[in-house]
């Protein structure tokens, strides 16, 4: 106790005020209240971004008069003047309270940011910012916006952006943590300052850049042939001014990738999902996003672009491209497969791993005589281990290589010289239009990589020919539309991702944010049951996100239903959803309401299941009549009726769920059983004997009276799972591993017990079969050949 008293005296004496200008360094605080010390300590700490109610203390309780009590929690005080204490971890914009104060706009003509709120958290290094000057409708004016970073010497130099009719757009570069940005507006239409210089009107914006390092990155790859000179198509003037070697290609591809990211983050925000976006792998290298960094050799953490040499020559790549375009070509090949093989080898992708890669084919070349682009393919998709998007470099000369070149690149009306470069699809008649096609079409393939099909509008329907409007306030003359251009490109004039693309990306692993609940990747299946009344019950462990409704014969989806919670504080998805056929058909046009409908159901783990014919799932084919409930001897009928809500002798219906397995083995025959315990009240299920080897052979249900029921066949070895009947334990469902057939099965019981997997625990994929709320297990249906190759669960009320 003497030691503790001495320690208390020392700790009290060690407190100092944070103002070094006052002569109080040797004073000991009064012993009136310990909260005085706590208040002084807290006042120099920047306000936390978390609510006070959610915080807890790990300080030991203070003993007073022999009793233990927690120290009083003081109210949050105002900041002390002159405080200079810096917090080690600050979620606020700055550790200094004076630096946190954002100056008020200097005049009515100070830029007003409309696209992002002050203090927002963003997840991309480059952010699209748009706004207006004063009241554009009252006094439209042109001018210039200069964006300054508070760390100009290190982060990024000032950049200039045009103002048209009082509207502007800009790209701002951010460093991790808080970024203080100043926007200066100047115009010749406004009065000049006393010294004759143009007067500036300033406003400020604070943004917190939080990189997403826990999500898988979108890798950037430039693929070249084994004998490639590593150059790309460019006019002589371009070659002379900026070059066309590999280093220039890397800079341009990197800048294009950041435009993809900024565009996607802005689209996600407009759809109320925050500024989610995919991320890139970074490494410490010479910066290229600013021309100053490149020219001065300043090193930064920049997006990495991998250069991969494949095992094929440039001539072989061109032949493979021609073979893809001409089925009768003598030399067959596949650029997508060639790129995939080279990338798998480069990254050494192991079983179970998954990579997402956007690949630029550097050896693409415009062949004027043949009128085609060789060694080029626009494809996106992939397999389980590699999701890949490939595109050629034939428009690369028109790309910007840094932020300062974005506006010049998207306003360059230089006519495309087809003696040296391609006019892709006759939509790239000028340099800025070629940049749209190259950057936008590659983004289209990235959309396929991320799982998007073609849509009714947006990037996935070639709407990327307007990609420039997201980054520039003006649009010049278009050779594609023969239109004179636009003075102001407003939000409604821009292209975008379709809503269905946005819904896919919300739950895509590449868009995962720190606060998101991690999906159960071991079981990401979706199950469904067609029940009476034209209703479809859908279940998924990770929740149901949305359902696409497709009309028979339609290539695009025009109707869908969403099940997202609009409250951002509770983003949980419903794990069970009931769809009504009448409600689904009501969404369709009158001439399509009676046609065949297919559904694609998406879960919160970005998995989906397709129902090719809703009418077939809801038909009598999947509804069976169950025997009526039979009374056990000496059992009170009134009591059982009140318990079950049924009259004895009433017919009941059973409903078959989603089928696992293909039922395609030689000699496969249909099988079906209704559990006796579901019919007879006297039947008590004691155990299940499982017959299995490398796959599941059969299930034998054993009852108290010695009778059994066999689904499948006996074979392999047997094991028995016993139920705890003293606790009233019953089987609620199954965890099944299945692919073309059923590999293994696990029993899930009413007491929360799991039996463990019988059969092959690594075969197929995992599916959980459970009865929906208000229903129970009634039996099993499926098929059996050499072993069980089809399985459905039958449920009843």
Q: Which residues are catalytic?
A: 445
Q: What is the CA radius of gyration of the chain?
A: 33
Complete DSSP assignment for 231-260: -----HHHHHHT--SHHHHHHHHHHHHHHH
Report CA-CA distances (Å) from 722 to 369, 624, 745.
77, 29, 15
Report CA-CA distances (Å) from 311 to 190, 340, 358.
62, 12, 19
Nearest to 211 by CA among 178, 181, 176: 176
Nearest to 701 by CA among 783, 789, 777: 777
Write the CB contacts of 100 (distance below 8 Å, at least 6 apart in sequence): 46, 92, 93, 94
DSSP letter, residue 486: B
How far is it, in rounded angstroms, from Cα 441 to Cα 463? Answer: 9
Beta-bridged to residue 160, according to DSSP, are 146
How far is it, in rounded angstroms, from Cα 406 to Cα 256? Answer: 10
Q: What is the largest CA-CA distance in the chain?
A: 108
Write the CB contacts of 522 (distance below 8 Å, at least 6 apart in sequence): 766
Nearest to 277 by CA among 86, 468, 450: 450
Name the phi and psi angles at 437, rounded to 5. -65, -45
Q: Give percent helix, percent strand, percent coil of the chain, each to the nearest 5.
A: 20, 30, 45
Which string of b and e fits 149-185 if b means at least 16 CB within 10 Å?
bbeeeeebbebebbbbbbbbbbbbbbbeebbbbbbbb
């Amino acid at each position: 106790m003497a030691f503790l008293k001495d320690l208390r005296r020392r700790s009290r004496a060690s407190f100092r005020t944070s103002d070094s200008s006052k002569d109080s360094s040797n004073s000991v605080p009064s012993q009136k209240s310990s909260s005085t010390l706590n208040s002084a300590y807290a006042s120099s700490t920047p306000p936390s971004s978390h609510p006070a109610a959610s915080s807890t203390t790990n300080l030991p309780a203070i003993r007073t008069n022999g009793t233990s009590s927690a120290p009083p929690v003081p109210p949050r005080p105002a900041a002390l003047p002159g405080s200079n204490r810096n917090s080690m971890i600050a979620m606020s914009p700055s550790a200094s309270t004076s630096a946190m104060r954002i100056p008020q706009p200097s005049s009515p003509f100070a830029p007003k940011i409309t696209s992002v709120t002050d203090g927002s958290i963003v997840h991309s290094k480059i952010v699209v910012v748009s706004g207006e000057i004063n009241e554009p409708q009252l006094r439209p004016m042109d001018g210039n916006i200069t964006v300054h970073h508070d760390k100009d010497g290190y982060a990024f130099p000032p950049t200039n952006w045009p103002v048209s009719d009082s509207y502007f757009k800009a790209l701002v570069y951010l460093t991790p943590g808080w970024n203080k940005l100043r926007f200066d507006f100047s115009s010749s239409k406004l009065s000049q300052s006393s010294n004759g210089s143009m007067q500036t009107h300033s406003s400020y914006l604070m943004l917190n850049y939080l990189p997403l390092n826990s999500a898988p990155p979108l890798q950037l790859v430039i693929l070249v042939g084994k004998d490639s000179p590593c150059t790309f198509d460019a006019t002589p003037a371009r070659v002379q001014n900026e070059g066309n070697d590999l280093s220039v290609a890397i800079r341009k591809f990197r800048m294009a990738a950041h435009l993809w990211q900024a565009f996607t983050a802005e689209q996600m925000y407009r759809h109320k999902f925050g500024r989610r976006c995919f991320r890139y792998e970074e490494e410490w290298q010479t910066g290229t996003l600013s021309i100053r960094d490149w020219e001065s050799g300043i090193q930064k953490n920049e997006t990495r672009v991998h250069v991969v040499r494949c095992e094929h020559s440039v001539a072989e790549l061109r032949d493979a491209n021609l073979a893809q375009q001409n089925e009768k070509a003598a030399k067959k090949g596949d650029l997508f497969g060639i790129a995939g093989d080279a990338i798998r080898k480069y990254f050494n992708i192991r079983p179970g791993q998954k990579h997402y890669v956007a690949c630029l084919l550097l050896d693409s070349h415009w062949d004027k005589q043949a009128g085609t682009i060789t060694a080029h393919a626009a494809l996106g998709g992939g397999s389980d281990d590699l999701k890949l998007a490939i595109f050629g470099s034939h428009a690369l000369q028109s790309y910007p290589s840094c932020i300062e070149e974005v506006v010049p690149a998207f306003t360059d009306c230089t006519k495309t010289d087809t003696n040296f470069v391609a006019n892709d699809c006759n939509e790239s008649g000028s340099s800025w239009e070629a940049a749209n096609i190259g950057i936008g079409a590659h983004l289209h393939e990235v959309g396929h990589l991320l799982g998007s099909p073609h849509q009714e509008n947006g990037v996935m329907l070639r709407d990327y020919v307007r990609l420039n409007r997201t980054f520039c306030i003006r649009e010049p003359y278009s050779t594609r539309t023969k239109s004179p251009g636009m003075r102001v490109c407003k939000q409604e004039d821009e292209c975008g991702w379709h809503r269905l693309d946005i819904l896919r990306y919300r739950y895509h692993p590449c868009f995962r944010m720190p606060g998101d609940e991690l999906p159960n990747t071991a079981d990401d299946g979706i199950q469904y049951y067609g029940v009476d009344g034209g209703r479809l019950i859908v279940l998924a462990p990770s929740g149901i996100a949305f359902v696409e409704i497709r009309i028979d014969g339609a290539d695009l989806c025009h109707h869908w239903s969403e099940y997202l919670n609009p409250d951002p504080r509770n983003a949980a998805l419903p794990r069970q959803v009931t769809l009504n056929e009448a409600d689904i058909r009501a969404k369709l046009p009158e001439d399509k309401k009676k046609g065949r409908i297919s559904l694609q159901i998406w879960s919160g783990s970005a998995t989906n299941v397709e129902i090719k014919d809703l009418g077939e799932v809801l038909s009598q084919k999947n509804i069976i009549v169950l025997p009526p409930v039979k009374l056990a001897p000496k059992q009170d009928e009134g009591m059982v009726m009140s318990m079950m809500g049924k009259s004895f002798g009433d017919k009941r219906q059973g409903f078959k769920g989603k089928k696992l397995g293909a039922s395609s083995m030689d000699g496969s025959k249909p099988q079906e059983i209704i559990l006796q315990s579901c019919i007879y009240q006297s039947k008590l299920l004691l155990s299940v004997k499982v017959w299995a080897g490398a796959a599941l052979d059969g299930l034998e249900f054993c009852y108290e009276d010695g009778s059994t029921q066999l689904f499948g066949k006996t074979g392999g070895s047997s094991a028995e799972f016993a139920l705890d009947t003293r606790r009233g334990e019953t089987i609620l469902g199954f965890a099944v591993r299945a692919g073309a057939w059923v590999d293994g099965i696990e029993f899930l019981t009413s007491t929360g017990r799991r039996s463990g997997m019988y059969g092959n625990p690594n075969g197929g994929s995992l599916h959980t079969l459970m009865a929906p709320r208000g229903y129970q297990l009634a039996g099993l249906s499926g098929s059996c050949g050499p072993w069980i190759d089809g399985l459905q669960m039958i449920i009843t009320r």
